[in-house]
Amino acid sequence: MQLKELHRQFLEYLEIERGRSLKTVENYDRYLKKFFGFANISSPAAINDELVRRFRLFLNRENFKKRTQNYHLIALRNFLKYLAWRGVESMSAERILLAKAPERDLDLISVEELERLLKAPEGGDLKILRDRAIVELLFSTGLRVSELAGLDRDSVDLNKEEFSVRGKGEKVRVVFLSSRAKKALKEYLEKREDISEKLFPITPRSVERLLKYYAAKAGISKKVTPHVLRHMFATDLLINGADLRSVQALLGHSSITTTQIYTHVTDRSLREVHRAFHARRRKG
């Protein structure tokens, strides 16, 4: 079977069998097209160690970041696993090792900046109430912006103070409302007079714009995005004693490795633990 047809079937497999989002499928498509364009081959049997080595060299010399290079390699590796599952002869996926990438820096704001941001939507008109509810809900739940924009009115039960959300890979998880988020949502919903089923008739891009606006209003010079609030949600939990597995569940990460990017941020609190307990033990 021709490589082009296997490529198409692999993307359909990701979407239908694996339940990957269209955005993820698009990314896989882009990364694989880059490899196939470079390789200029028509048969999966032509994929070998030397070809992959030259492709890695090409990515590096094109000045792709190590993390982006790995995205291309992960896409290729998963394609090769799919070929093996189909019984198509090709290179073993296990032969592709990822480049060592530097630890990812998290975009964070200070606790004081976060508080100013949460208080920035001031007023009682519907748009302000909506914006306040969005900001509070993002920090209370750690929702991805796509998850927030996709929420329906009837999916959020203010009496239970918790609700289910369908995230990446169609995985369902439970998230919880803080008292502030519950109050902001209640005030917003009581003011609404339309019959739209959506909790927030708004696009992810509009959420990004409103956060940028309120960050400037709050005097925050750093870039503030919905993902920054997701980061703040996770680090706040860890700093206050939550275990990594619980944070993984609340964020909807499929792998604990993804959640571990937050641990080095909270490591600074270990210094205080060391000072409080190590020094005290020596005094005895």
Q: Is there a catalytic annotation at residue 144?
A: yes
Copy the structure tokens of residue 127: 């748009």
Pairwise CA distance, residues 13 & 276, whole Å: 54
Q: Is there a catalytic annotation at residue 168?
A: yes
Cα-based distances in Å from 253 to 73, 111, 158: 21, 24, 25
- Which residues lie below 8 Å from residue 200, measured CB to CB, with a gap of 6+? 130, 133, 134, 148, 149, 151, 207
Work out whether the CA dihedral 147, 150, 153, 154 comes out positive or negative: negative
Catalytic residue (choose from 34, 144, 182, 231) = 144
Catalytic residue (choose from 56, 168, 186, 192) = 168
DSSP 275: I
Query: Which of 230, 179, 225, 232 is CA-nearest to residue 204?
Result: 225
DSSP 98: P
Using CB atoms within 10 Å of the CB of residue 91, give its burial: 0 to 12 exposed, 13 to 18 middle, 19+ buried: buried
Catalytic residue (choose from 7, 182, 230, 231) = 230
Q: Is there a catalytic annotation at residue 28?
A: no
Q: Is there a catalytic annotation at residue 230?
A: yes
Catalytic residue (choose from 28, 31, 188, 262) = 262
Helix (H, G, I), strand (E, B) or coil at 174: strand
Q: Under a CB-based contact definition with an 8 Å cutoff, are residues 84 and 188 in contact? A: no
Query: Which of 215, 155, 141 is CA-nearest to residue 189?
Result: 155
Query: Which of 212, 215, 199 is CA-nearest to residue 149?
Result: 199
For the annotated catalytic residues, the residue numbers are 144, 168, 227, 230, 253, 262
